[in-house]
Structure 1
Amino acid sequence: MSGLLVALGAAVGASSRFLVATRLDRELPWGTLLVNVAGSFVLGVLTALSLSESATALLGVGFCGGFTTYSAFAVQAVERGPRVGTAYAALTLLLAPAACALGFWLG
């Protein structure tokens, strides 16, 4: 059952990420940055709430795993070149863990 919950959550998360990214990603990948930071925040909250195994599979692993994206982040950082790509990577690596910590604290 957990596998199905992960798949369902991932389908919703990945679809949501696609909608946000296609609307906001232009010259700078604001959409990808937003989904990675927001997904990290949500995962922090969910972790603090100590949800059931099923809820964690659906929301934590499935939705947050599908919503956030390391692969697009990595490609976008490389595509922007050394200066802008490094700034984008640094911004993501600062904001996402901070958002996760804030979510955990608030949860």
Structure 2
Amino acid sequence: MDRSELALVALGGFAGATLRYAVSVAIPGAGGTLAVNVLGSFALGTFVTSVSSRRAQLFFGTGLLSSLTTYSTFAVQTASLSPVGGALNVGANYALGFAAAALGLAFGGRR
């Protein structure tokens, strides 16, 4: 990876993390995490099927969308919920995330 590719990943990562923070302010707690994970799953599904540029893949896929979505925050928030709330959070994240990714793949014209 050359410096320009590293810069693309870093800039995309900065943008995605900033967007995730903005969503967490607007929608605090597990709801905000669910929103970014579902949105990111749809966007990545669409993106991987419709964009072939390596530079765009680095900026959007590896950088922005990977830092927008978050597994670690999802895990910590889930662990802090009641057993029923945790189970619902896991179910919602996985079911909606997979559904959003499938819709994104279809929307992007799965290759």
Residue equivalent to 1:98: 99
Residue equivalent to 1:21: 24
- The CA deviation at 1:50 is 3.4
- The CA deviation at 1:91 is 0.6
- The CA deviation at 1:23 is 1.8
Cα distance in 2 for partners of 1:82, 1:41 equals 28
Q: Which amino acid aligns with 2:92?
A: L
- The CA deviation at 1:25 is 1.5
Cα distance in 2 for partners of 1:12, 1:58 equals 9
Residue equivalent to 1:41: 42
- The CA deviation at 1:51 is 2.2
- The CA deviation at 1:22 is 1.9
Task: Give me the TM-score of the superposition, normalised by structure 1.
Answer: 0.94
Q: Deviations over 1:59-90 (max 9, x none)?
A: 01100011000000000000012110111011
Residue equivalent to 1:32: 33
Q: Which runs of 5+ in 2 are unaligned?
A: none
Q: Deviations over 1:1-33 (max 9, x none)?
A: 22110110010000100110122124xx11110
**SS of equivalent residue, structure 1 residue 51:** coil
Runs of 4+ in 1 over 4 A off after TM superposition: none
Q: How many residues align?
A: 105
Task: Give me the TM-score of the superposition, normalised by structure 2.
Answer: 0.90
Quick one: percent identity of the two aligned structures? 39
**SS of equivalent residue, structure 1 residue 25:** coil
Q: Which runs of 5+ in 1 are unaligned?
A: none
Cα distance in 1 for partners of 2:28, 2:86 equals 14
